[in-house]
Chains A and B, each alone.
Chain A
Amino acid sequence: MKKRAVWCALAVLPLTAAALAGCGGGSSGGGGDGVISVGIGEPKSLFVTSVGETEGHQVIMALYTPLVRYNDNLETELAAAESVTPSEGNKVWTIKLKDGYTFHNGEKVTSDSYINAWNYGAYGPNAQDLNSYYSKIDGYAAINPTDGSTPATKTLSGLQKVDDLTFKVTLSAPYSGFMTTLGYTNFMPLPSVAFNDPAAFQNSPIGNGPFKMKGNWQHDQLIQVEAWDGYTGTKPKVKGVDFKIYQDAGAQYNDVVGGNLDVVKTIPTQQIANAKKDLGDRYGQTPSGSFQGLAFPVYQKDFENVGVRRAISMAIDRDAIVQTVFANSAVSARSWVSPQFPGARDNTCGEWCNYNPTAAKALYTESGGLPNNSLKISYNADGGHKEWIDATCNQLATNLGITCTGNPVPKFADLLTSLSKKEAVGMFRQGWIPDYPTMDNYLEPLYSCDAAPQPNYSGFCDKTFDEDLAQGFAAADNNAAIPHFQAAESILAEKLPLLPMRFGRNNFGYSDKVKNVTIDLFYELDLLALETK
Chain B
Amino acid sequence: MFRYIIRRLLQMVLAFFGTTLLVYWLMFAASGDPLAALAGEKPMSPSVRAALTEQFHLDQPFIVQYFYYMKGLLSFDLGNNLSNRDIADLVLSAWPYTLRLAFLAFIFVVVVGIPLGVWVAMKRGGVFDTTVLLLTLVIISIPVFVIGSTLAMIGSMYGLWVTNVGGAGTLSAYLVPAIVLGSLSLATAVRLTRGSVSENLRADYVRTAKAKGLKRLRVVGVHVLRNSLIPVITFLGIELGGLMGGAIVTEKIFNIPGIGFELAKAINLEDGPTVVTIVSLLVIVYLVMNLIVDVLYAVLDPRIRYE
Contacts and interface: CB of A to CB of B under 8 A. Distances in A.
Interface of A: 3-4, 7-8, 11, 14-16, 18-19, 21-27, 44-45, 52-53, 124-129, 131-132, 135, 143-146, 148, 199, 219-222, 244-248, 250-251, 254-255, 257-261, 278, 382, 411-414, 416-417, 431-432, 445, 451, 454-455
Interface stretch (B42-50, B65-73, B123-131, B182-190): B42-50
Contacts of A412: 36, 40-41
Given A127-B52, A247-B255, A413-B32, A221 B46 contact: no
Interface in B237-280: 251-255, 257, 261-262, 268, 270
A131 to B, nearest CB: 5
Contacts of B152: 250-251, 254
Interface of B: 32-33, 36-37, 39-48, 50-52, 54-55, 80, 83-85, 90, 93-97, 99-100, 103, 107, 149, 152-153, 155-157, 159, 162-164, 166-172, 251-255, 257, 261-262, 268, 270
14 contacts: A7-B170, A19-B96, A22-B169, A23-B171, A45-B84, A126-B51, A127-B51, A132-B45, A148-B54, A221-B166, A247-B252, A257-B157, A258-B155, A413-B33
A255 B163 contact: yes
A14 B111 CA distance: 13
Contacts of A144: 45-48
A91 B127 CA distance: 86
Contacts of B171: 4, 7-8, 11, 19, 22-23
A250 B96 contact: no
Contact of B168 (A7, A26, A414, A445): A26
A453 B166 CA distance: 42
Given A19-B96, A125-B51, A248 B253 contact: yes
Given A8-B171, A220-B94, A251-B253, A127 B55 contact: yes
A124 B84 CA distance: 16
B121 to A, nearest CB: 26
Given A132-B48, A219-B93, A221-B167, 15 more contacts: A4-B170, A15-B99, A18-B95, A22-B97, A23-B171, A126-B51, A132-B43, A132-B44, A145-B47, A250-B253, A251-B252, A254-B163, A255-B163, A258-B157, A412-B40
A451 B43 CA distance: 9
A21 B96 contact: yes
A125 B163 contact: no
B172 A414 contact: no
A257 B37 contact: no
Contacts of A246: 164, 255
B261 A14 contact: no
Given A221-B167, A250-B149, A382-B268, A14 B33 contact: no
A53 B268 CA distance: 16
Contacts of B164: 244, 246, 251, 255, 260-261
Contacts of A45: 83-84
A103 to B, nearest CB: 22
Given A257-B156, A411-B32, A251 B95 contact: no
A145 B45 CA distance: 10
A416 B33 CA distance: 10
Nearest to B255: A251
B132 to A, nearest CB: 26
A283 to B, nearest CB: 15
